């Protein structure tokens, strides 16, 4: 499984924790930045991760900013991207089961790393249910 990850400065600390967990679990990741807590513009990283997932080079993406809203809004501008802002495990699960989300977005200023790791694990292990949900996902313009 190939995973693209990116964050702005507000998500940098959480991103480091998630990268550590992903690498510990032998997942193939690419960090699209940012690489410090210096102020940057979140769309630059959201676009890079979204393009990587959109192209099919990466199966899933992970994006983090202060609220998670900016990166999720930006990512969802890309065709074929279904970015889900998650703050609870059940939302992460349902984003995959019902929406076939391919990018998970986190509010770096509002969740702890252990919560984010649990959600990421759920997200990556959960399969899309299809069926009536596929009909609904297919109604999303691409």
Q: Which residues are catalytic?
A: 65, 98
Which residues make Cβ contacts (< 8 Å) with residue 84, sequence separation at least 6? Answer: 72, 91, 92, 95, 99, 101, 103, 104, 105
Cα gap 100→38, rounded to integer Å? 33
Residue corresponding to tokens 């691409």: 142
């Amino acid at each position: 499984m190939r995973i693209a990850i990116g964050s702005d400065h507000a998500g940098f600390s959480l991103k480091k924790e998630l990268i550590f967990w992903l690498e510990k679990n032998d997942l193939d990741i690419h960090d699209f930045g940012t690489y410090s807590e210096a102020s940057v513009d979140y769309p630059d990283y959201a676009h890079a991760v979204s393009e990587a997932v959109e192209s099919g080079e990466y199966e899933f993406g992970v994006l983090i900013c202060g609220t998670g809203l900016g990166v999720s809004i930006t990512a969802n501008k890309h065709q074929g991207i279904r970015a889900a802002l998650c703050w609870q495990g059940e939302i992460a699960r349902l984003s995959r089961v019902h929406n076939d989300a391919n990018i998970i977005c986190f509010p770096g200023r509002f969740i702890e790393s252990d919560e984010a790791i649990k959600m990421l694990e759920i997200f990556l292990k959960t399969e899309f249910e299809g069926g009536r949900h596929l009909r609904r996902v297919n109604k999303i313009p691409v």
